[in-house]
Amino acid sequence: RIIVQTVNLTAYDKEFLHLSGAIQPHGILFALKEPQLEIIQVSNNTFELLGFHPQALLNQSLKDLLTPTELLFIEGCLVKDFESVNPIKLSIDMSNNIKNFDGILHRCNGVLILELEPKLTQEDRNFIRFYHLVKGAIAKLQNAPTMSGMCQDITQEVQNLTGFDRVMIYQFDGKQAGKVIAEEKREDLNSYLGLHYPASDIPDQAKKLYTRNRLRLIPDINSQPKELVPAQNPITNEPLDLSYAVLRSVSPCHLEYLRNMGVTASMSISLNKDKKLWGLIACHHYSPKYVSYEVRTACEFLGQVMSLELAAKEENENLDYKIKLKSIQAQFIEAMPLTENFMDGLVKDKDNLLQLVAAQGVAICANGDLSIAGETPSKSDIYNLIEWVEAKIDNDIFYTDCLPRLYPTAEKFKDVASGLIVLSISQTQKNYVLWFRPEVIQTVNWGGDPYSSVELSPRKSFELWQETVRSQSLPWKQCEIDAIIELRSAIVGIVLRKADELARINI
Ligand code: BLA
């Protein structure tokens, strides 16, 4: 039995991720005032990476740090679209030791932000190889015949490009919980494929941010964040908005979550559909891992290509399911005229009836007589349910994926009937078909790993989430509802034809 603890999730939701006032320490951040490029805020790690104390840099011009050619180049960039110029190659002379950096520029609320990431390897010479990898990957994504094929392809391609130990596609459902639908991983690791995670694992605020800012990298969860000095931005008199900063420090709650999962480095790329976050490409590494800006950009680009392909592939996927539903329908329609009474036709083929909407139980009520198959409430419970539902049927159909919330009596049989569809074939003759789906909590696999440590907050969120999905079934798909409505029209057609034949015989 699960003990429910109250967790004030809104406290986290209100956590302003973009105003953390700190960055991850693998790079340096400068907030600059244009046009003089005066350094008005800087991260507190310039001594380690540049050899200058932050105080020595504040109020100086960035111009004093750069060679004239670099300066000219940056000034040229300031009038361009930053996405087309990033990363800018910069070399800084630290007492005759030249250090190379990737410079990443963006503006936010009128403040120019320059982030520097030390260049670890000389990747330029790999550019051609890289270009071919990306080009090949795009062709593969576009040609993938199915959604699951495309998801599998992209996990492989991202793993090829980055070398992460695990790359997953994490898809949100209608209630913002999520499921791992594709995975590429080091062979010795346990698989997360098929596991579900609660909506609260990625708070709304983070999701909103990820819709706009499409990639984040956490190279080492154990590194110490570095504050910006001064804490307030002198132009806005507020903490600097880090929504688009690639170095933004990570929420401590999420770091704890990754620690519980045994992960040391993480990267995630947004997958958007219709301007909403559809899912993430989530990558894990079990030791620290830095990924260069170029490689990240390539991954982000693949994410965008996949985002564009999502709508078409989802439509295809539904098409396959719809074709399957059509063939089940056709079987009924063929078999039905052979039976004396059309309801007998339904009773005879209960397996197909279950498959028609992927239900686990079905009840057919013909002239008040009940016939059941699969997992259903007891007959007397069904009779009572029918009495309750009759007034709710609208246009011959009623459906819900949270019956116990609408009809508290269902609480006692929610294991089998948290989801319900009722199709009325004739309300006057009490001819109904009822389909049942069990409570989702019993039908999906939970990703338990992050919750192994009972005292930690991610565990509490999991429990909270179990409350939110309690008494709920998997949702009914629109194409399933449509299939049922079409089935009804077919039945009505057959009944009318029979009546017509009878009338002719009587003449
Ligand atoms: C962020 N949570 C995230 C991110 C992912 C997940 C992918 C994006 C950041 C990243 O790239 O690492 C969740 N990661 C998962 C899941 C899987 C995975 C579900 O690999 C499954 C395989 N998280 C909690 C609780 C809180 C919480 C209780 O479980 C606090 C309320 C917070 N998660 C949280 C926050 C962020 C986050 C605040 C934003 C981190 C940031 O961008 O700073």
Q: If we measure between CA atoms, which residue out of 267, 252, 168, 159 comes closest to residue 215? A: 267
Between helix 293-335 and helix 127-143 the angle, nearest 10°, is 10
- The whole-number pLDDT of residue 466 equals 56
- The whole-number pLDDT of residue 455 equals 38
- The whole-number pLDDT of residue 411 equals 95
Examine the pLDDT at 444 and tell me if it is beyond 70: no
Examine the pLDDT at 452 and tell me if it is beyond 60: no
- The whole-number pLDDT of residue 269 equals 98
Residue with the nearest Cα to atom 11 of ligand 1? 268
Q: Which of 36-40, 90-94, 493-497 has the highest mean pLDDT?
A: 36-40
Examine the pLDDT at 21 and tell me if it is beyond 70: yes
- The whole-number pLDDT of residue 454 equals 37
Which phi and psi (to 5°) does residue 357 adopt?
-130, 20
Between helix 457-469 and helix 252-261 the angle, nearest 10°, is 90
User: Which segments of 193-289 are extended strands (E)?
Assistant: 195-197, 215-218, 226-229, 232-233, 238-239, 265-273, 276-285
Q: How far, in Å, from the CA of 459 to the mean position of ligand 1?
A: 13
Contacts of 163 (CB under 8 A, 6+ apart): 289
**What band does 197 get if pLDDT is binned at 50, 70 and 90?**
confident
Report pLDDT digits (tens) over 116-161.
Answer: 999 876 655 566 677 777 888 999 998 998 888 999 999 999 999 9
Q: Kindly state the percentage of the chain with pLDDT values over 90.
A: 53
Q: Which of 18-22, 451-455, 493-497 has the highest mean pLDDT?
A: 18-22
Examine the pLDDT at 217 and tell me if it is beyond 90: yes
Report pLDDT digits (tens) over 332-346.
Answer: 777 776 676 777 777
- The whole-number pLDDT of residue 130 equals 73
- Residue 478, burial from CB neighbour count under 10 angstroms (0-12, 13-18, 19+): exposed
Residue 266: strand, helix, or coil? strand
Q: Which of 198-212, 398-412, 446-460 has the highest mean pLDDT?
A: 398-412
What are the structure tokens assigned to 236, written together? 């806005």
**What band does 381 get if pLDDT is binned at 50, 70 and 90?**
very high
Whether residue 257 has its Cβ less than 6 Å from ligand 1: yes
Q: How far, in Å, from the CA of 173 to the mean position of ligand 1?
A: 16
Whether residue 280 has its Cβ less than 6 Å from ligand 1: yes
- The whole-number pLDDT of residue 9 equals 40
**What band does 308 get if pLDDT is binned at 50, 70 and 90?**
very high
Whether residue 254 has its Cβ less than 6 Å from ligand 1: yes
Angle 451-455-461 (CA atoms, 0-180°, nearest 5)? 50
Residue with the nearest Cα to atom 6 of ligand 1? 202
Examine the pLDDT at 4 and tell me if it is beyond 80: no
Report pLDDT digits (tens) over 88-120.
Answer: 999 887 777 888 999 999 999 989 999 999 987
- The whole-number pLDDT of residue 447 equals 56
**What band does 15 get if pLDDT is binned at 50, 70 and 90?**
low
